[in-house]
Amino acid sequence: KAGVTQTPRYLIKTRGQQVTLSCSPISGHRSVSWYQQTPGQGLQFLFEYFSETQRNKGNFPGRFSGRQFSNSRSEMNVSTLELGDSALYLCASSLSPGRGETQYFGPGTRLLVL
């Protein structure tokens, strides 16, 4: 079974631009979560989607948004990019939301904002 895939793997943008990252979950998984990983802040939860609905959202500004499609694929969008948005963005999928559900992570998209 194929794992979680994320595209693109690397991205360079300039301040003020916007970016869209894509995540394809493991087949059969309906829950997708997004995380931002930086050396300074570590791994921080962005949001979680299940059945095309946002279930949870982390403490990030409104410039960060996402959506999930009927096939469970998910996209996240960052508008008006700032230098501090440079990070590794990780997507994780699970069968469903839940306390004990195992999340399977993709390799991440590394975003550099110049």
Partner 1 sequence: AQSVTQLDSHVSVSEGTPVLLRCNYSSSYSPSLFWYVQHPNKGLQLLLKYTSAATLVKGINGFEAEFKKSETSFHLTKPSAHMSDAAEYFCVVSSSPSGGSYIPTFGRGTSLIVHP
Binding site for partner 1 (CB under 8 A): 4, 35, 42-45, 48, 55-56, 58, 90, 92, 97-108
> Least distance (Å) from partner 1 to the CB of residue 10?
10
Nearest CB to partner 1, comparing residues 55 and 63: 55
Smallest distance from partner 1 to CB 80, Å: 25
Q: Give the pair of three-digit tokens for residue 17.
A: 């631009």
Q: What CA–CA distance (Å, rounded) separates 104 from 93?
A: 5
Nearer to partner 1, 20 or 58 (CB): 58
Q: How far, in Å, CA of 61 to CA of 4, rounded? A: 26
Minimum CB distance to partner 1, residue 84 (Å): 18
Q: Which residues of 24-41 are buried (b: 16+ CB within 10 A; e: fewer)?
A: bbbeebbbbbbbbeeeee
Distance from C-alpha of 59 to C-alpha of 53, rounded to nearest angstrom: 18
C-beta closer to partner 1: residue 35 or 64: 35
Q: Which is nearer to partner 1, 14 or 56 (CB)?
A: 56
Residue whose token pair is 């948005």: 85
